[in-house]
Structure formats: C-alpha cells, structure tokens
C-alpha cells in the first residue's frame, strides 16, 4: 500500500518518552537561567544608552555564602585589599552622566568582596572555591554583553575601569598598557584623544587634577599599566572598545570628596563623548542622543 504521509500515532511509551525529553529540556533551560541570575546576585548592572562602560571590580563589601576567602598560594602580587569607595564612585559617576547627558552609561559593579573573588584577574588567579566561578563569570558576562551591545549599536565605545591606588593620595594613574588598549581611539583621532584637552584625562588635568604619567611628556606607564579587564576588552584585541584603567588616590575617593570627584569625572567623560564618541559612531549606526551641553560649566575643582 502506498505511503499516505501521515505519521504513526504515539504509543503510550513514545508519548511518555517525548514528555520526559521535554521536561528534561525545560529543566536544563531553567537551571541555566537560574545560574545566570544567581551569578548576577552580587552585581550592580545598568543597561546603557551611551557607548560608555563604567566598571568597578574591587569595591565590593559582601561575603559570598559558601565561598571561603582566597589564600593566594602561588598567585603573584596577591592582595585582598578593597578599593575603598570605588563602587560608590562608579555609580555616582553614572548618575551624574545621566543628569548631564540625558543618556545612561553601561555600569558593571562587583558587590562581592575582593578577598573572595578578584574579578580583575584571569580565572586561575581570580578565585579558589569552585562555587565562586559562577559569580566571576557573571561579572565578565556582563562586561562582554555590554561591549557587544555597544559594538552593535554604535560600532565602538569606551570602557573606564575604576580602581584605587595608595601611592599618591591626590593623583590619578592611567593604565592602557602604554596605549595598546586604546589603539583604536588613537588610530582614529590621534594621541590627543587620550591626553589632549578634550580627552577624559586631559580635561581632568585642565581643572587641576594630577594625572600620571604626566600628559605633557613622553613618560611611559610603569607603576600601573592596566589589568586583566583592559587587556581582555581593550581595542588592541579587536573589540572596538577602548579601555582605560583609572587608579584614583585616597583623597579623591574619600567620602567627603566623592561627590566632587564624581561630578568632575562625569564632566570629563561628557567632554570626551561630545568630542569623540559621536564622531566615532559607525556608518549607519545612530549617534548617541545627548542633551545640550550646560553653559559655563568648566568643572568644580
């Protein structure tokens, strides 16, 4: 008899097998979703409308249940010191940017304490407890997804990785692996985009901040050259994201000065965004929508 094209009816065993397979697939999808959500429990995340990512890996204060503190055996330059007030600073800068530009940066802040996970290290040096892997990967998944969104919408952007340094209380050290992690920015706009008057660091210098290495000379970055984040997400990797590590001194991060530092850094990012980010938007990509620049605003320092 010729085939009719009709499928055979499901028997009881076949139906049970199909239902079991569907249940396993649903459970697997649910488990992945739960793990993804769990990995973000110790993060502050903002989805942006501006091609700027603000990251802070070392300002967290929270313990992770079931994760023991790291011992650091065999890890070079091991430390568990908190970068005090950097999480608060990053969030304050994001708020100020939203107020100034009418646009929101992407924000990725680790709320777990550094003694459990160092999110600015490669995985082998970042954590020791297997349970910590989920949270480490959650942080970097958020950075990676933010960078991908920026590439898709604007063709490229800027990542500022905010840290603390204890060498000079009133200084900000730059870390770009001596220009490698901002290679795209300099190829498009020259070194002025990194050190000139409309750069983030150049504007801060113009209102009185001490920037190291000195922006006027040929001094190389030696004390702080960037870390895992700038090396991983910087434009030298073909990411189209120019990454700068900012190491701020104790005075600039003091609670009494946090508002002023946040406002000045947000203003510096605004100056940079108006000068370079709109010009750098990919052909066919919508330029970020920015509010008009406030009149007579030259900084507060």
Residue 284 DSSP class: T
Domain boundaries, the chain: 42-280
* The predicted structure's pLDDT at residue 38: 64
* Per-residue pLDDT tens digits for 152-210: 999 999 999 999 999 999 999 999 999 999 999 999 999 999 999 999 999 999 999 99
Express each pLDDT in 219-278 by its tens digit. Answer: 899 999 999 999 999 999 999 999 999 999 999 999 999 999 999 999 999 999 999 997
The predicted structure's pLDDT at residue 57: 98
Q: How far is C-alpha 71 from the chain's CA centre? A: 26
Q: How far apart are CA 143 and CA 125, in angstroms?
A: 19
Mean pLDDT of the chain: 87
How many other C-beta atoms can be found within 10 angstroms of the C-beta atom of residue 31?
A: 10
Cα 95 to Cα 11, 104, 158, 202, 262, distances in angstroms:
61, 8, 17, 22, 9
Q: Hey, what are 221's tokens?
A: 């970055």
Place of tokens 């190291």: 212
Q: pLDDT tens digits for 4-45?
A: 444 445 455 665 555 555 545 444 443 334 444 566 789 999
Residue 21's pLDDT is 56
- What is the structure's pLDDT at 219? 86
Task: Give the integer Cα–Cα distance in Å for 125 and 7.
Answer: 56
- Mean pLDDT along residues 132-150: 97
| b/e 66-101 (16+ beta carbons within 10 angstroms → b) | ebeebeeeeeeeeeeebbbbbbbbbbbbbbbbbebb
pLDDT at residue 284 tops 50: no
Q: Domain 42-280: state its class.
A: alpha beta
In this prediction, residue 280 has a pLDDT band, given cuts at 50, 70 and 90, of low
Within 10 angstroms of residue 277's Cβ, the number of other Cβ atoms is: 21
pTM of the model: 0.84
| Residue range 82-138, pLDDT digits in tens | 999 999 999 999 999 999 999 999 999 999 999 999 999 999 999 999 999 999 999
């Amino acid at each position: 008899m010729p085939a009719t094209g009709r499928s055979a009816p499901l028997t009881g065993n076949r139906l049970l097998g199909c239902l079991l397979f569907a249940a396993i697939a649903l459970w697997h999808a649910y488990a992945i979703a739960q793990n993804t959500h769990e990995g973000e429990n110790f993060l502050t995340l903002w989805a942006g409308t501006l091609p700027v990512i603000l990251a802070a890996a070392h300002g967290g204060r929270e313990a992770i249940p079931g994760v023991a503190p790291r011992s650091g055996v065999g890890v070079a330059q091991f430390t568990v010191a908190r970068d005090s007030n950097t999480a608060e600073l990053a969030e304050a800068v994001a708020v100020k940017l939203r107020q100034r530009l009418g646009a929101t940066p992407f924000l990725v802040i680790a709320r777990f304490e550094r003694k459990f996970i160092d999110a600015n290290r490669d995985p082998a040096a970042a954590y020791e407890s297997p349970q910590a892997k989920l949270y480490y990967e959650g942080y970097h998944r958020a950075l990676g997804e933010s960078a991908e969104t920026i590439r898709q919408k604007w063709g490229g952007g800027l990542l500022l990785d905010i840290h603390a340094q204890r060498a000079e209380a009133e200084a900000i050290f730059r870390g770009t692996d001596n220009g490698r992690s901002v290679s795209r920015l300099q190829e498009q706009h020259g070194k002025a985009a990194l050190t000139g008057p409309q750069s983030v660091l150049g504007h801060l210098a113009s209102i009185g901040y001490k920037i190291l290495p000195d922006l006027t000379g040929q001094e190389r970055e030696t004390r702080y050259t960037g870390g895992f984040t700038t090396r991983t997400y910087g434009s030298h990797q073909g990411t189209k994201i120019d990454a700068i590590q900012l190491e701020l001194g104790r005075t600039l991060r003091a609670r009494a000065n946090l508002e002023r530092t946040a406002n000045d850094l947000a203003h510096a990012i605004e100056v940079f965004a108006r000068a370079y980010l709109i010009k750098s938007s990919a052909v066919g990509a919508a330029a970020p929508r920015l509010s008009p620049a406030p009149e007579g605003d030259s900084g507060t320092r």
